[in-house]
Amino acid sequence: MTAHSATLLNVVAGRADDRVVTRAIRVASVLFITVLTAAAAQISFPLPFTQVPFTFQPLVVLVGGLILGSRLGCASQVLYLSAGIAGLPVFAGGSHGVDYLLGASGGFVLGYVLAAAIVGRLAELGWDRTIFGAIGAMLIGSVAIYAVGLPWLAYVAHFDAATTLEKGFYPYILGDVLKLALAAAAFPAAWWLVGRRPGDR
């Protein structure tokens, strides 16, 4: 197992004796993260002072990236976007279609693809094997989501920089930090459960 492929999923799937079973585990894992992203979108809380609802999707995206790795993590979010564009009610509040992506929240959702790829790559490099590394990876992934979402929000809503931060960034900082810290703490434990130790290759 090389550093490039040593994600939680590849360690678990690699223990299967049959290639078909290994492939099935990987496909099922991608589909699971896709469905979980859609489910998290339905737990949304509209905020009266902003057009962007609070959801648990970013947490699922980042955790999914750490588990799946860059290629499959990215694939799970591309599949999620494709389902929404095709008309399935997978976006926040049961929304769907290209119109949703062209709205205020669209940039954040598009940012999920980039975030999953980045976080997945950091997991392949072993960042998820210590709590601080996992937190760092997920924070970088969060930055990627905001890096796509905030400019898009500013463009769609015609906000200046200060208003964009007020509507699309500040209300979510504390919640993001708390969620990431709790999720990141689980990864060293997960590696222990699969028989690996932080720092092993």
CB 91 within 8 A of CB 100: yes
Q: 45: which DSSP letter? A: B
Domains parsed from the chain with CATH numbers:
8-193 (1.10.1760.20)
Of 59, 188, 67, give the one whose Cα is nearest residue 131: 188
For 51, phi then psi, to 5°, come to -85, -5
Q: What is the pLDDT of residues 50-61, one digit of tens each?
A: 888 888 899 999
Residues of the chain with pLDDT under 70: 1-5, 195-201
Q: What tokens appear for 2 in the block?
A: 């090389």
Supply the mean pLDDT for the chain: 88
CB 163 within 8 A of CB 52: no
Distance of CA 89 to the CA centre of its chain: 19
Q: What is the pLDDT of residues 65-112, one digit of tens each?
A: 999 999 999 999 999 999 999 999 999 888 899 999 999 999 999 999
- DSSP string of 133-159, one letter each residue: HHHHHHHHHHHHHHHHHHHHHHHHHT-
Q: What tokens appear for 25 in the block?
A: 């585990």
Q: Coil, strand, or helix at residue 54?
A: strand
CB within 8 Å of 39: residues ≥ 6 apart: none
